[in-house]
């Protein structure tokens, strides 16, 4: 029998018995594996991990990880994660989801989660499409991408999550690629270790509805960005990038919102607080 | 951020890296075999499953060669040499309608990644102590390669005879998208 102490936990131990059923070739498989590798490298106690998701293909991820998880409501994963971090500041809160869930339905939560800069990690598996509902354009879809749901394209400019995160106050902003598992694991490790709100936007090909995204394996530039703590320099890097650069664009020490912990309080304590 | 790609030819580190690479290949082929089955593509799933078993045998060689030795923990982002490609990176070209011969092609690429690593090690003088393990791995990969080529050729012959597969290919033309 194996000694299951933190010292001996491997990536395998952080994966649940439920096997992923994403489409073969989907980038999410590699992100799941990188996440488990990162947990194992950091030796995070399973009972100290809270993995929260919204709705979509990528949001199935808590089921596949052997830790606490919550498959939440569409676009509200960050709100749930914020709540968890507020009452359990000792936990490692990881929020995960897709581009539609995070940047459209949950767009407002995204802005304010960045602004609050709570100590949590947000992993966005960006495939530039709503895959689960069969291929509608998402906020990160190019304006000229044609599909049955958007003949002649949407004509709407793409959302720039890294730029929005920077402007809103996130203190760690990175872009990774599902096809670079080694680099991605490093990014996730650094994001979890970072004190503050860390965004890891991961380009993850949807091989079913955006098969052309397989080309990313040739075009994405692996870990070519040099981190900076200068917000102006970071803005320049983010806005001059063609979306194919990966690495940490911005990492800075900023005030972290840490509400007074309610851990250990009884119902009576709460009632006393609200006594008129 | 620097993404380390230096060579680490300390024998134990090298063995740990080989072990990690095979572990990744086993996980991904096992997972993809499962998801292909779920997507009702039993033929391709069978290929992935077969190769997974070969990777497990490959891992057996490493484990036998490192009995009573504690392998060091290697950062999961560390790459053994400059041209190294993560074995899972070829799987981005999988799709749920893939034919058996397409599955074979992908699996060949994964096996080639293993072989390239072992060949690289064979060229390095500083890893003499590893030679017997690496030599066994190279031989094993070569044997599997021959065997798999025969199976692939058989699959290819069956495919050209099967009208069902031709329909699937027609459906799946243009790089596999639904639109």
Query: What six digits make up the tokens of A15?
Result: 């994966």
Q: How confident is the model at residue B160 (pLDDT cuts 50, 70, 90)?
A: low
Does residue B62 sit within a domain? Answer: yes
A4 or A71: which carries more pLDDT confidence?
Answer: A71
CA separation for the pair A172, A166 (Å, rounded): 9
Does residue B140 sit within a domain? Answer: yes
What is the share, in percent, of chain A residues with pLDDT greater than 70? 96
Mean pLDDT of the region B92-113: 94
CB atoms within 10 A of CB B84: 18
* Tally of structural domains, chain B: 1
Residue B154 has pLDDT above 60, yes or no: yes
Mean pLDDT of the region B124-136: 71
Burial of B162 (0-12, 13-18, 19+ CB in 10 A): middle
B179 or B12: which carries more pLDDT confidence?
Answer: B12
* Of the partner residues B75, B89, B174, the one whose CB lies closest to the CB of residue A179: B89
CA separation for the pair A217, A183 (Å, rounded): 13
Q: Which of residues 18-37 of A touch B (CB under 8 A)?
A: 19-25, 27, 29-30, 33-34, 37
Phi and psi at A210, nearest 5°, equal -130, 60
Q: Element (H or E) spanning A17, and its range?
A: none
For chain B, the average pLDDT equals 83
Which pLDDT score is estimated for A261? 63
Q: Name the residue ranges covered by the structural domains of chain A.
A: 6-273
Does residue B179 sit within a domain? Answer: no
Mean pLDDT of the region A56-73: 97
Three-point CA angle A97, A101, A103, nearest 5°: 105
Mean pLDDT of the region A212-238: 97
Three-point CA angle A138, A140, A144, nearest 5°: 85
Q: Over the stretch B66-90, which tens digit does the pLDDT of each residue have?
A: 877 888 999 999 998 888 999 999 9
The minimum CA-CA distance between B41 and chain A, rounded to whole Å, is 10
Distances (CA, A) of B167 to A52, A212, B160, B172: 41, 22, 11, 8
Q: Element (H or E) spanning A158, and its range?
A: none
CB atoms within 10 A of CB B60: 12
B145 or A242: which carries more pLDDT confidence?
Answer: A242
Does residue B53 sit within a domain? Answer: yes
Query: What six digits make up the tokens of A126?
Result: 């960006």
What three-state secondary structure class fits A96?
Answer: strand
CB B62 within 8 A of CB B122: no
CB contact under 8 A, A20 and B95: no
Q: Over the stretch B21-54, which tens digit does the pLDDT of each residue have?
A: 999 999 999 999 999 999 999 999 999 999 999 9
Using a CB–CB cut-off of 8 Å, the residues of B that contact A are 1, 3, 24, 27-28, 31-32, 34-36, 38-39, 41, 44, 75-79, 86, 88-89, 91-96, 98, 174-179
Overall size of chain A counted in residues: 276
Among candidate residues A116, A120, A113, A158, the one with its CA nearest the CA of residue A138: A158
Query: What six digits make up the tokens of A67?
Result: 């830790």
Q: Which of these ranges, A38-52, A53-67, A210-224, B74-88, has the smallest mean pLDDT?
A: B74-88
Dihedral sign of CA atoms B21, A42, A103, A222 in order: negative
* Residues contacting A134, CB < 8 A, separation 6+: A149, A209
Residue span of the structural domain in which B32 resides: 11-171
Three-point CA angle A10, A16, A21, nearest 5°: 120
CATH assignment of the domain containing B31: 1.20.1260
Query: What six digits make up the tokens of B12?
Result: 């134990």
Q: Which of these ranges, A157-161, A224-228, B3-7, B53-57, has the smallest mean pLDDT?
A: B3-7
Mean pLDDT of the region A117-137: 97
Which pLDDT score is estimated for B142? 87
Among candidate residues A199, A191, A167, A179, the one with its CA nearest the CA of residue A244: A179
Q: Which of these ranges, A91-95, A116-120, A272-276, B44-48, has the smallest mean pLDDT?
A: A272-276
Residue B170 has pLDDT above 70, yes or no: no
Q: How confident is the model at residue B120 (pLDDT cuts 50, 70, 90)?
A: confident
- What architecture is domain A6-273? 3-Layer(aba) Sandwich (3.40)
CB contact under 8 A, A21 and B177: no
Q: Over the stretch A230-270, which tens digit does the pLDDT of each residue have?
A: 999 999 999 999 999 999 999 999 999 988 766 677 888 88
Q: Over the stretch A178-199, which tens digit does the pLDDT of each residue have?
A: 999 999 999 999 999 999 999 9
Which pLDDT score is estimated for B162? 60
Distances (CA, A) of A234 to A168, A203, A238, A254: 13, 19, 6, 15
Which pLDDT score is estimated for B168? 45
CA separation for the pair A84, A81 (Å, rounded): 5
Q: How confident is the model at residue A69 (pLDDT cuts 50, 70, 90)?
A: very high
CB contact under 8 A, B31 and A20: yes
Q: Which of these ranges, A21-35, A90-104, A137-151, B62-76, has the smallest mean pLDDT?
A: B62-76
Which pLDDT score is estimated for A5? 53
Residue A213 has pLDDT above 80, yes or no: yes
What DSSP designation does A103 have? I
Q: How confident is the model at residue B126 (pLDDT cuts 50, 70, 90)?
A: low
Which pLDDT score is estimated for A7? 64
For B78-145, give the secondary structure using H, E and C. CCCCCCCCCHHHHHHHCCCCCCHHHHHHHHHHHHHHHHHHHHHHHHCHHHHHHHHHHHHHHHHHHHHH
CA separation for the pair B18, B26 (Å, rounded): 12
Among candidate residues A137, A144, A73, A64, the one with its CA nearest the CA of residue A99: A137
Query: What six digits make up the tokens of A125?
Result: 């598996």
The minimum CA-CA distance between A53 and chain B, rounded to whole Å, is 21
Which pLDDT score is estimated for A182? 96
Does A205 touch chain B if contact means CB atoms closer than 8 Å?
yes
């Amino acid at each position: 029998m194996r000694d299951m102490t933190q010292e001996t936990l491997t990536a395998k131990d952080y994966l649940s018995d439920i096997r992923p059923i994403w489409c073969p070739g989907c980038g999410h498989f590699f992100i799941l594996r990188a996440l488990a590798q990162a947990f194992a490298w950091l030796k995070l106690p399973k009972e100290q991990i809270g993995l929260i998701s919204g709705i979509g293909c990528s949001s199935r991820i808590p089921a596949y990880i052997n830790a606490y998880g919550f498959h939440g409501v569409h676009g509200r994963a960050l709100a749930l994660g914020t709540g968890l971090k507020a009452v359990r500041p000792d936990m490692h809160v990881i929020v995960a989801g897709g581009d539609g869930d995070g940047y459209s339905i949950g767009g407002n939560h995204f802005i304010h989660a960045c602004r609050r800069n709570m100590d949590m990690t947000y992993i966005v598996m960006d495939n530039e499409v709503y895959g689960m509902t069969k291929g509608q354009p998402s906020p990160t879809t190019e304006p000229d991408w044609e599909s049955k749901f958007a003949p002649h394209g949407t004509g709407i400019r793409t959302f720039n999550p890294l730029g929005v995160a920077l402007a809103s106050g996130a203190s760690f902003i990175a872009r990774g690629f599902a096809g670079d598992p080694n680099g991605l694991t490093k990014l996730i490790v650094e994001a979890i270790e970072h004190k503050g709100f860390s965004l890891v936007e991961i380009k993850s090909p949807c091989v079913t509805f955006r098969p052309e995204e397989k080309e990313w394996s040739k075009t994405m530039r692996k870990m070519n960005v040099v981190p900076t703590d200068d917000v102006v320099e970071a803005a320049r890097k983010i806005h001059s990038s063609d979306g194919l650069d990966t690495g940490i664009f911005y990492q800075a020490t900023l005030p972290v919102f840490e509400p007074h912990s309610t851990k250990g309080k009884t119902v009576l304590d709460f009632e006393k607080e609200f006594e008129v | 951020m620097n993404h380390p790609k230096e060579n680490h030819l300390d024998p134990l580190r090298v063995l740990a890296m080989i072990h990690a690479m095979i572990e990744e290949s086993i996980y991904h082929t096992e997972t993809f075999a499962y998801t292909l089955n779920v997507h009702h593509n039993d033929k391709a799933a069978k290929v992935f499953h077969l190769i997974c078993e070969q990777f497990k045998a490959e891992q057996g060689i490493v484990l036998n060669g490192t009995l009573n030795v504690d392998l060091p923990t290697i950062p999961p982002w560390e790459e053994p040499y400059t041209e190294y490609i993560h074995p899972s990176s070829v799987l981005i070209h999988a799709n749920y309608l893939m034919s058996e011969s397409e599955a074979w092609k992908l699996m060949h690429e994964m096996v080639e990644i293993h072989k390239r690593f072992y060949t690289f090690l064979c060229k390095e003088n500083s890893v003499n102590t590893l030679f017997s393990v690496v030599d066994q791995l190279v031989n094993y990969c070569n044997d599997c390669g021959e065997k798999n080529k025969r199976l692939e050729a058989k699959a290819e012959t069956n495919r050209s005879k099967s009208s069902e597969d031709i329909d699937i290919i027609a459906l799946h033309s243009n790089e596999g998208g639904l639109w």
